[in-house]
Amino acid sequence: MRVVETVEEISCGKVIIRSHGVTRSDRAALEGKGITIVDATCPFVTKAQEHARTLSRNGYAVVVVGIRTTRK
């Protein structure tokens, strides 16, 4: 097992999506490559993403505030 930063680093196999989830485009790219996805996204994160999507579709500007982390 290893941590990857981008979908491009993955050519085959299985991916575990960690608790903070991934973008819809990354998920689509993984599915397009035929990668098996194990989704471990936190249910609270999923719910927040759904609310943000709904608000955005209804014309609201959505701002997500958090702490950026960097991997070394």
Cα-based torsion angle of the residue sequence 37, 40, 43, 46 in order, rounded to the nearest 10 degrees: -50
Structure tokens at 26: 């990354």
The strand pairing partners of 17, in sequence order, are 39
The pLDDT tens digits of the residues spanning 2-59 come to 899 899 999 889 999 999 889 889 999 999 999 999 999 999 999 999 999 999 999 9
